[in-house]
A and B are shown apart, each in its own frame.
Chain A
Amino acid sequence: MIVRTASKFKADFFIEKDGYEINGKSIIGVMTLAAEQGAELVLVMDGEDEQEALDALVGLFEDGFGEVV
């Protein structure tokens, strides 16, 4: 869901955790990040529509993706 949302925007999107950074538009990358749940994540956006993209992503995280956490 992260990937699908992020891919709608032009801005580059990276997720950072403990100095490990993955491309937020990569389904495989995001899967490997999920392996480390419970950690703090830093979302990095870079591009013309970065604010809209960030809002959309933060909204997703806040809704918990409809998952149980």
Chain B
Amino acid sequence: MSLPENVINGAPPSREVRLRGCGVAPGISIGPAYVYARASITVEEQSIRPEDVASELERFEGALVRSERDLKKVVAVANERLGDESVAVFEAQILMLKDEAVLDEIRTMISSRMMKSDYAVRFVLTKHRQRLEASGNEYLQERSSDIRDVEERIITHLRRNKLLSAIDPHTIVVAENLTAADVILFSRRGILGCVMDYGGSTSHVSIMARALGLPTLVGAHSATQSVRTGDTLIVDGLSGALIINPTRETTERYGRLQSRYTQILEEQKEYVPLPAETIDGRRIALRANLEFKSELELLDEYGAEGIGLFRTEMLFLTEGRLGVSEEDQYKIYSRFVEASGDHGTTIRVLDLGGDKLLPVAHREHNPFLGWRGIRVLLDKQDILRTHLRAILRASVYGKLRILLPMVTTLEEVKRFRVVYNSVCDELRAEGIAFDEAIRIGAMIEIPSAALTADQIAAEVDFLSVGTNDLTQYVLAVDRGNDLVAELYQELHPAVLRLLRMTVDAAHAHGKTVSVCGEMAADSRNVPILVGLGVDELSASPVYLPQLTRIIRSIEYTDVSDLADRALNSSDAEAVRCLLDDWLKSHPYDLLHILDS
């Protein structure tokens, strides 16, 4: 890849600034910034002359047609990249564009109130949006952002402004927030990467960016304020670094890294068929976190040993309701189980906050400490039973494991078993076949579960640590909250000690422990995780060859010593220093690159 000319020849226009975000799609991009300010579409009240009504109405109809064409394009790409279950949101937006009742309201504003069409669009849709926003219900508030997307799309077309999709190619788009639809359209224009102020690595847009292979950072906080259109940017989707107006030296280094990265991808291919085994023979299973059907082909491409975490939420969210039929669920689960072959699929039962699916009356003040995961399912047993019937029926297609999210106490596991056994009886009575030896595991993501892991391990077949939630709960930090986000430290000794307790408890009962949070995808954490005795790592497939490569270059005895020292460190910073020193004394090529 060649560098833009101004980067090579010109002196940097101003001093180098470094920001940090969360890299969600690996790769390095260097290029000019395009600050995409959605919020900047200001619409002023403007009236039109009576003789212009006809042409104004025509302008409005034209914008509707073009908006629909846009969305259909998005649906087509989303379908191709992510599978049909991901397009529901955009199809709903197309329906909104055809909502004659609302369109008539807008037309009336134009024809009898003599409003300029863009103002009429904003006026009418804002009114509807505000009703949704006032509901205070998270699910409905998200739907209100769908209306906003539609509104902005129509207005953008009305103005024949630079369209979303008409952004200069070969730029890096910087925005407060982008939708998965934006990312699809931008990527068709050939942009080099994306940077967002907000967003999380498990959001739809992040998954989309990964699927498109577009270097992308989310959670880069003040990026839109720090970057001006035309600034030179470096986006490092590996480390999460965002460098604004890099010095010549930095640019040259990243230029080298960029070509090195391409080379690494090439080199990594040779690790795909190799087992992830340390020099002294400790075997680690590497599995994939998946959500969409179209990701299934990545299993072989990246050498995943089956699926370590299949999140079932997307299916329910795109349907927008809990009542997804047994048949619909069964079809999808069996497809995953079949595709994951001998290694099998770990299906995590529905892990949703109740607030996402229930009426306003159930609104919670503190959803993270509220009605989530297994708690919801045990209260809504009709949903759990349908869910389990579909899962059990799918088990005849291969190897399937069941994972319980948000387990707080052993009692919940026992109550789940009662429902599970009763569903098994039901299927047997109906003569429906299923695998009688399905392994059931518990997520360890609440401190109480880690602290009582010995009791839980006695009752389940495996444990899986969700490091994202565990870190949030142990350190009492909401990482989406800028004021405290720095305290979100996966390497904090408190988190590591709970991990060690979990591993020891599981091993004492002859059970395995996997780690399926983002922590597992970050190669720098691998020595510590392996050192703590973790048996399996599950991450986005794209990271797996890199993890194999690192695991094959470490010695278990060496990293367990490192882990012991990390457990006794005073804070996360001390662990990081320890790790840095350790990396320096073990000069693996790849780790050097990750560290730069």
Contact = CB atoms under 8 A, between A and B. Distances in A.
Interface of A: 3, 22-23, 25-29, 31-32, 34-38, 64-69
Given A31-B140, A35-B137, A25 B323 contact: no
B361 A38 contact: yes
Q: Which of A29, A34, A38, A64 has the most CB of B within 10 A?
A: A34
Contacts of A31: 128, 132, 140, 143, 147
A49 to B, nearest CB: 18
Given A28-B128, A67-B322, 9 more contacts: A26-B100, A29-B101, A29-B102, A31-B132, A36-B360, A37-B359, A65-B323, A66-B324, A67-B323
Given A27-B95, A27-B96, A32 B128 contact: yes
Interface in B307-344: 321-325
B380 interface: yes
- Listed from nearest, the 3 A-B pairs whose CB atoms lie closest are A66-B323, A26-B101, A35-B135
Contacts of B134: 35
Given A32-B132, A37-B361, A68 B383 contact: yes
Contacts of B270: none
A34 B99 CA distance: 16
B357 interface: yes
15 contacts: A22-B101, A26-B99, A26-B100, A26-B101, A28-B101, A31-B140, A35-B131, A35-B132, A37-B359, A38-B360, A65-B321, A65-B323, A66-B323, A67-B323, A68-B380
A67 B319 CA distance: 10
Nearest to A24: B101
B361 A28 contact: no
Interface string B354-394: 00011111000000000000000000100100000000000
Contacts of A32: 128, 131-132
A30 to B, nearest CB: 9
Contacts of B140: 31, 34-35
Contacts of A64: 323
B92 interface: yes
Judged by DSSP, the binding face of B is: helix
A35 B100 contact: no
Interface string B125-141: 10010011011010010
A35 B144 CA distance: 11
A27 B92 contact: yes
Contacts of B100: 25-26
Give the contact-size bracket for chain B: 20 to 34
Contacts of A37: 359-361
A6 to B, nearest CB: 11
Contacts of B96: 27-28
A13 B383 CA distance: 32
A48 to B, nearest CB: 19
A9 to B, nearest CB: 14
Given A28-B128, A31-B140, A38-B359, A68 B92 contact: no
B325 A26 contact: no
Nearest to B146: A31
A36 B135 contact: yes
Contacts of B358: 68
A28 B130 CA distance: 12
B355 to A, nearest CB: 13
B378 to A, nearest CB: 14
A47 to B, nearest CB: 15
A23 B99 CA distance: 10
Determine which residue in A22, A26, A64 has the highest number of CB atoms from chain B within 10 A of its CB, and name it. A26
A66 to B, nearest CB: 3
Interface in B272-326: 321-325
Nearest to A25: B101
Contacts of B321: 65-68
B99 A28 contact: yes
Nearest to B134: A35
A69 B128 contact: no
Given A32-B131, A67-B321, A68-B380, A26 B357 contact: no
Contact of B99 (A27, A68, A69): A27
A22 B132 CA distance: 14
A66 B95 CA distance: 21
A36 B325 CA distance: 26
A3 to B, nearest CB: 7
A32 B258 CA distance: 49
A23 B100 CA distance: 10
A26 B323 contact: no
B132 A26 contact: no
B377 to A, nearest CB: 11
Nearest to A34: B140
A35 B141 CA distance: 9
A7 B92 CA distance: 15
A12 B368 CA distance: 43
A52 B96 CA distance: 25
Contacts of A29: 99, 101-102, 128
Given A26-B99, A28-B102, A69 B132 contact: no
Nearest to B135: A35
B322 A3 contact: no
Nearest to B324: A66
Interface centre among B92, B131, B322, B380 (most CB of A within 10 A): B131
A30 B282 CA distance: 58
Nearest to B357: A68
A23 B143 CA distance: 18
A65 B322 CA distance: 10
A23 B329 CA distance: 33
Contacts of A38: 359-361
